[in-house]
Amino acid sequence: MDVFIQQLINGITLGSIYGLIAIGYTMVFGIIGMVNFAHGDVFMVSVFIALIAYLILTTVLGIGSIAVALFLVLLVAMAFTSLVNWTIERVAYRPLRGSFRLAPLISAIGMSIFLSNFVQVTQGPRNKSIPPIIQGEYVLMDHGNYAVTLSLKQLIIWGVTAVLLVCFWYLVAKTPLGRAQRACEQDQKMAALVGVDVDRTISMTFVIAAALAAVAGTMYLMYYGVVSFADGFVPGVKAFTAAVLGGIGSLPGAVIGGILIGLIETMWSAYFSIDYKDVAAFSVLAITLIFLPQGLFGRPDVEKV
């Protein structure tokens, strides 16, 4: 039971990170119907940006307060990662809009290879690890031999994710930008006819997706404290799994899917085999797509002749 509760805590933390990345997949897929293969690598780039920002802020500028430093790191990472994703959309996807359907996918795969190798070339192939940023944990239950703990950083991740999701939900549901996004999602031509700037809306979608990936990246850095250039692929595929599980196109679905994937992964590691935890996540992806292609919260895809 203790192990179960501990894994529940860990799983929700991991799942929050997946959920934030999954929103990026689900939004981009919703609006232009494309699996943004490079999104996992955008997440990895954001971890590196956060790492560099953190090191500059604490060692070069000498900011003593960890809370202030983390907040600034979050802002810097969001800003720069958004710029990266905006540029990627402009360079690699926009010229291919309206082209045949495989072209953007191949372009995205190329971009994914480019990003991970770019980071490898500029930052070196070795793992980058930093000492823990935040320490401190609360013991929830202690039965002598096994103590269930909730660490401060896990609490921060939960808090930040929850706050951002509320902001983000407000953005999509209540603002003109969100309305334009939903309009483009339904019918781009029609949206353009009624005066929605489709290009700008799609660009903003990529910017928001990257900003959320950067939040996930900062949290990842704070939680694990280690990153390498190859760390984009697997979280990317798992976040995509989360988006599919929740129902692609559905925002609450992406978050719930993320938490489910996080839970499945941690429970599998605890009770079965840690070597095969990725197999568990990938199998969930395959099983979902085969038996429940519309996901938990998605609309069924009606095929018209």
Partner 1 sequence: MTDATTQPRSRTAAALRDAGLTALISFALFLPLVGFQTISNIRNEIVVTTRGVLLVTLVAIIAGSRLCYSLAVDPWLKRRALKAVKTETPAWRAAVGRWFVPFAIGFTLVYPFIVLATSGFGGALKWVDNFGIQILIYVMLGFGLNIVVGLAGLLDLGYVAFYAVGAYSYALLAKEFGFSFWILLPLAGCLASFWGVLLGFPVLRLRGDYLAIVTLAFGEIIRIVLINFVDLTNGYAGISGIPRPSFFGIPFNADDGGFAAVFHLPFTPIYRTIFLYYLILALALLTSYVTIRLRRLPVGRAWEALREDEIACRSLGINTTNTKLTAFAMGAMFAGFAGSFFAARQGFISPESFTFLESATILSIVVLGGMGSQIGVAIAAIVMIGGTEIMRDLDFLKDIFGQTFDPTQYRMLIFGFGMVLIMIWRPRGLISTRDPSVFLKERKTISADLVGEGHG
Residues in the site for partner 1, rule: CB under 8 A? 34-35, 45, 48-49, 51-53, 55-56, 59-60, 80, 83-84, 87, 91-92, 95-96, 99-107, 109-115, 117-124, 126, 128-131, 233, 237, 240-241, 244, 275-276, 278-279, 282-283, 285-286, 289-290, 293, 303, 305
Q: Which helix (H) or strand (E) holds 150?
A: strand 147-151
CB of 21 to partner 1, least distance (A): 15
Min separation Cβ 156 and partner 1, Å:
22
Name the residue nearer to partner 1 (CB basis): 152 or 286. Answer: 286
User: DSSP for 249-274?
Assistant: T-HHHHHHHHHHHHHHHHHHHHHS-G
Least distance CB 300 / partner 1 (angstroms) = 13
Report in angstroms the alpha-carbon separations of 259 from 10, 39, 262.
Answer: 10, 19, 5
Q: How far is the CB of 33 from partner 1 (least distance, A)?
A: 8
Nearer to partner 1, 96 or 263 (CB): 96
Q: How far is the CB of 252 from partner 1 (least distance, A)?
A: 21
Question: Is residue 232 within 8 Å of 41, Cβ to Cβ?
Answer: yes
CB of 17 to partner 1, least distance (A): 20
The residue among 84 and 267 lying less far from partner 1, judged by its C-beta, is 84
Alpha helices in 148-224 (DSSP H): 152-174, 176-186, 188-193, 198-224
Nearer to partner 1, 168 or 206 (CB): 206
Min dist CB 167 to partner 1, Å, is 24
Cα-trace Rg, the chain:
19
8 Å CB contact between 31 and 251: no
Burial of 92 (0-12, 13-18, 19+ CB in 10 A): middle
The single-letter code of the amino acid at 76 is V
Q: Which is nearer to partner 1, 105 or 134 (CB)?
A: 105
Shorter beta-carbon distance to partner 1: residue 59 or 145: 59
Contact 42, 265 (CB under 8 A): no
CA 43 to chain centre: 7
φ, ψ of residue 150 to 5 degrees: the values are -125, 115
**Which C-beta is closer to partner 1: that of 65 or that of 87?**
87
